Amino acid sequence: MSRELWWDGCVNVRDLGGLGRVRPRAVVRMEAPTTLSPTGWAAAWDYGIRTFVDLRHAEECDPDDAPRPPGITTVRVPLEPIGTPFYERWVPIDNLASPLYYPAMLAEHPEPVIAAVRAIATAAPGGVVIHCAGGKDRTGLVSLVLLTLAGATPEEITADYLITFERMAERYAALGYPDVLGKVSRILAEHGTTVEASLASTVAGLRMPGFLRDNGVTDAELAALRARLLSGT
């Protein structure tokens, strides 16, 4: 079964199933579903999706082009800690648009990440979509946490992260950003690292399930997350 999904109106949709022990149809990552057509929403519904976890802030959220099907629940969990010293420090470094900020975010502001994980764990029966605007960095960070819990390798996590640059290339170019991967790579190079090394370092430093437990995830929530996410549970 291919992880690549094609929901009309969006271009960066993929199932995390098959990475580590993640079971298919449990969690899907994508860009904002704002541009899904009625056919695209029907495809998401038919795939079993019942909850969308939106990692954007309210001011980013444009109206959907087509109505969401009845029965779809949207949970908003703004991930970026806007207005904090952390945010003001990192915007000039990478605009929170590279993996460079991930370790600092997990160390200094784990609360919104935990809130997103909790929303996934406690969602109603059915598949869950996680998304931000482009489906790259905020979505990438939450995906990294889930995939690390599921035992995915750094190589799998990196390969999954890099897919977005290919899938979003035309949309980035239309917005005037023709080489986003090149820009991200240059930022990382200025700090002595690469996409691969940065993500691998984050995974290596993320103790699971200790990170979740240390930040307030209960035994019941962890059991619910594992039951939703993992095959063979």
Per-residue model confidence as pLDDT tens digits over 126-141 = 999 999 999 999 999 9
Copy the structure tokens of residue 198: 């940065």
For the sheet with 73-76, list strands across it: 4-5, 13-15, 27-30, 127-131, 49-54, 73-76
State mean pLDDT over 10-37: 98
CA-to-CA dists, residue 51 to 71, 123, 199, 212, 224, angstroms: 9, 7, 27, 21, 15
> Cβ-count burial of 44 within 10 angstroms (0-12 exposed, 13-18 middle, 19+ buried)?
buried
Q: How many residues does the chain have?
A: 233
What is the residue extent of each domain of the chain? 4-219
Please determine, for residue 146, whether its predicted confidence score (pLDDT) is greater than 80.
Answer: yes
Question: In this structure, which amino acid lies at residue 107?
Answer: A
Q: Which fold has domain 4-219?
A: Protein-Tyrosine Phosphatase; Chain A (3.90.190)
3-state secondary structure of 68: coil
Q: Residue type at 124?
A: A
Is residue 173 scored above 90 in pLDDT?
yes
Q: With CA atoms as reference, report the closest residue to 99 among 151, 53, 161.
A: 161
Segment 31-49 shows an average pLDDT of 98
The pLDDT assigned to 232 comes to: 79
Q: With 80 as the cut, is the pLDDT of residue 58 above it?
A: yes
Does 233 score more than 80 pLDDT? no
pLDDT per residue over 109-118, tens digit each?
Answer: 999 999 999 9
